[in-house]
Amino acid sequence: MKWMNTLIKYRLLLGVVLLALAIFVHMQTGFWPSFILYLISVILVIGHFLFGPMRLIQTAMEEGDMVAAKKIVDSIKFPALLIKPIRSVYYTIQGNLAMVNEDFDVAEKMMKKGLSLGGGSLSKQAEGPNKLQLGMLSMQKGDNKQAESYIRQAIRAGLPDKENNAAAYLQLCSIMMNKREFRAAKEYFRKAKGFKPTTPQIVDQIKQIEKYITRMPG
């Protein structure tokens, strides 16, 4: 909701303004008339530091505006104050943004931080995609054994949509092809196609693999 995004964007400023107003009312009339203003201002300020602008970041990333997403992430000056599930998502987003910039070392560091926090429903939602990204990073480094471990963990943890699931099984297919385990490669390829992905990059990868996989034994 647009009004909610606006409130989150200006939550800290509004909290400070209400706190100043509460102090003024307190000085003029007494504590109890200013109590509700104190209460709302404290809720807004504490909410800013404990929950951060995650909704705004999510909106920016869904719209594909990575510049805006990074700007919002960078506005979080004290990530250690975020509650644990939110902090886990924060580090995962930092890792995703680093991946976009092809800064793989930072991406790996941030994603591992997010995983290490664990706990909470938000963290659980991020666990699968986070491990899938770590698996892809391991493949970039040529460490297929670690990549396979992370991707299998990602599938077990759960992935949010057909695109992520297709990507995961395609990566496993590639790993099995490199290991010359052709029967497993074909099975993972079949599963990847079964998700009917529409992302151009994944569709193209399926077409490329399809040229070779029918010729494989097994």
Q: How many domains does the chain have?
A: 2
Could you tell me if residue 110 is inside a domain? yes
- Residue 85: the pLDDT is 86
Mean pLDDT of 59-77: 88
Angle at 53 between CA 90 and CA 42, to 5 degrees: 120
Alpha-carbon span 66 to 121, nearest angstrom: 25
191 is in which domain, residue-wise? 161-218
Q: Specify if 20 maps to a domain.
A: no
- Taking CB atoms within 8 Å and a gap of at least 24, the contacts of 14-21 are 14/44, 15/40, 15/41, 15/42, 15/43, 15/44, 15/45, 15/47, 15/48, 16/41, 16/45, 17/41, 18/44, 19/45
Task: Give the pLDDT confidence of 21-50 residue by residue, as tens digits.
Answer: 999 999 999 999 999 999 999 999 999 999
Indicate the pTM of the whole model. 0.77
Q: Is residue 24 situated within a structural domain? A: no
Tokens of 109: 């560091």
Choose the final residue of a domain: 122, 142, 160.
Answer: 160
Contact 50, 90 (CB under 8 A): no
Per-residue pLDDT band at 218 (split at 50, 70, 90): low
